[in-house]
Structure 1
Amino acid sequence: MPSVRAHLLSVLVRMGRVRNTFDGAERIGRSVASDRTKGPATPSAKFMARFSVRETEFAGRRVHVVGPRSGHVRRRVLYLHGGGWVLSISDPHWGMVGKLAERLDCSVTVPMFPLAPEHHAREMFAMLLPLYAKLVAEASVGGLTVMGDSTGGNLALSLVMQARAQGLPQPDRLVLISPCLDVGFTDPATDALDRKDPISPARGARELGRMYAGDYDLSDPVVSPLFGSLDGLAPIAIFTGTRDILNADAHRLKQLAAESGIPLIWHEYPGMLHVWPLFPLPEASRALDQITTFITEPAETSIQP
């Protein structure tokens, strides 16, 4: 049963009409225009005082590297933020990045990758795949974890699939938080979940998928990694809530992993909303504990019930 705080968040999300952000092409257009005016969220002064934050550039795009102020780094994380492929990084993403750096004594690389609709999947991966190749080559003790939330989870899974196709090493771990896995949203359960989800409207999600895919077919594994092979991928941990239109596809990925014999650690939270681990909730603290354990301890070789 969700905590009182989680219930209050759900009420606030509905009152704030968060679904309107992506509810159809016209509203998406307005949300994108507002985002471009504001620009990406930046680490707060408190965040900057607490962590080492270094800004670099890769392939003409900004990349932030966040780590402990001590400079002692035990492992690396590549974090890909969500936002429907169209919105910039937000404050909750930076909150998650800070918690990872603190919990794991790690450096977290956060790329400001190209966004739709000005750019499409092909251009996003033209930046992300070489960046991944650089990071995985540099990773030594502790290795590299690739992690993403929502549409960032889509990018993360597709990225490691493309890395495999190019003969690049896999990361040590792959963490997917409320991932988008099928940009066509073809599972019939999606529309039933749409009535429960106070954040992500199905019709808007499908519009976003088309914007992101560009010249790829919507069923191409590059944009819909649910239709790709999991063979040879790193162990996966997936976090999904039952009040999320993406929950149906998470179950399909779980089944695919079982059929492929791929290690997948399954964390389904009843009653939880999309990307709940990014918010100040008891359930988020629990999820962060599970993420920390997954990254720091040997991966299990069977799918949890």
Structure 2
Amino acid sequence: MKNIVKTIVMLAVLQFTNTNVFAQTIADSTMQKINEFRGFYETLGKVYPPNNTVSINETTISGVKSYMFNQEMLSKKEIMVYLHGGVYTYGNFNTYQAMISHLARSFNSPILYIEYALSPEHPYPTANNEIFNVYKELQKKYKDYKITVMGDSAGGGLAIALINDVQIANLSMPASLALISPWIDLKCDNKSYETRQALDPILSKDFLYNHALMYASNNIQEADPSELKFKEFPPVFLLVGTDEVLNDDAKNFYAYINPIQKKSKFKEYEGQKHVWPFAHIDSKESMEAIEDIKQFISSN
């Protein structure tokens, strides 16, 4: 609860007075707020310690800094790619090390965390291109490996965009995707942005839309994952809390993708806020979500 209150205060400070902000003209005062929140967001990754039994190796793949958890387990011929959240603007290895180390321990599998470039300094499609290039290199280097993709919040949107890029390039799809609290609609048009706001102490429609503008750099239609169309899609598991404004992002994408991929799955977690395992990795609901993901990945 203490961390949620701190987040509310920081987000209130961070609200931009001008929603028409783009990377090319971003004000120094706005960048100062962004950098301050980046520092604060990093502290949220220290609310619980990392699992010190999990090995971590820094690497560079296709010019993109990345971190491999459980590298010694690559002989199992499986890799999970992790795409972090942070409204395309926040988050780094220090922020996500603890959570991913616990996921790596629970999944007993290698996890590759990609440190993709952040907006507004690097707007769309920089992060998308970096993630696609890493994925392409993984397929080349680790032939016949089972590659899965996991993402939270904006990382969920990036995962969906990755599937579109893979489809266009005619590469092999990942075996499956697991997306926690995915932010998919950059236009922020879904009803839950209004109907769930009173339940969500972390995100708001204005906050999200301002960051969508910075990330998309005046091109939301093209950057928006909810605008992408698919003829095929890997099995995808969409997990979302009942108490978050992004509830309909997951629900609506499931309604769209289920006729295309019958193995897709959607689950709501009662009373949970945005990306609940990030805040409380050992809560009953977090452990339930991790077990649900393990079962889904193992069956696809």
Range class of TM-score, shorter chain: 0.7 to 0.9
Unaligned residue ranges in structure 1 (runs of 5+): 1-8, 299-305
Moved more, 80-89 or 19-28: 19-28
Relative to structure 1, the CA distance from residue 19 to residue 294 in structure 2 (aligned partners, 3 Å threshold; closer, same or farther) is: farther
Cα distance, 1:95–1:20 mapped onto 2, change above 3 Å: same
1:103-252 correspondence to structure 2 within 5 Å: 103-140=106-143, 143-216=146-219, 218-220=220-222, 223-252=223-252
Summarize the Cα distance change of 1:297–1:205 in structure 2 as closer, same or farther, 3 Å threshold.
same
Aligned match of 1:16: 6
2-structure distance, mates of 1:77, 1:273: 24
Q: CA deviation at 1:25?
A: 1.8
Distance 1:141 1:296 in 2: 16
* Cα offsets for 1:99-138 (capped at 9, x unmatched): 2322333211111110011011211122111101111334
CA–CA distance in 2 between the matches of 1:263 and 1:230? 15
Structure 1 residue 258: Cα displacement: 3.0
* Matching of residue 96 in structure 1 with residue 131 in structure 2: no
- Count of paired positions: 284
- Secondary structure in 2 matching 1:101: helix
In 1, the alpha carbon distance for the partners of 2:77 and 2:107 equals 7
Deviations 1:224-250 (A, max 9, x none): 222222331110001001111110121
- The root-mean-square deviation of aligned C-alpha atoms, in Å, is 2.8
CA distance in 2, matches of 1:67, 1:102: 8
TM-score by length of 2: 0.84
Q: Is the deviation greater in 239-248 or in 73-82?
A: 73-82
Report deviation, 1:71: 6.3
Residue 231 of structure 1 aligns with an amino acid whose one-letter code is K
Whole-Å separation in 2 of the counterparts to 1:38 and 1:19: 11
Match of 2:20 in 1: none
Question: What one-letter code is carried by the residue in structure 1 that aligns with 2:224?
Answer: S
Q: Which letter does structure 1 place at the counterpart of 2:256?
A: L
1:295 aligned partner, one-letter code? I
Once the two structures are superposed, residues 36-73 of structure 1 have per-residue CA deviations (whole angstroms, 9 ceiling, x without a partner) of 668968x99x7585222211123443211111656654
> In the alignment, what sits opposite 1:253?
253
- Post-superposition offset of 1:165: 1.0
Displacement of 1:253: 0.7
Letter in 2 for 1:287: A
- Separation (CA, whole Å) in 2 of partners of 1:109 and 1:213: 25
Find the counterpart in structure 2 of residue 276 from structure 1. Answer: 276
- The alignment's TM-score, normalised by the length of structure 1, stands at 0.83
CA contact (8 A) 1:21 1:28 kept: no
8 Å CA contact retained: 1:129, 1:163 = yes
Segment drifting more, 239-248 vs 186-195: 186-195
SS at match of 2:125: helix
AA aligned to 1:15 is: V
The 1:127/1:178 distance shift into structure 2, 3 A limit, reads: same
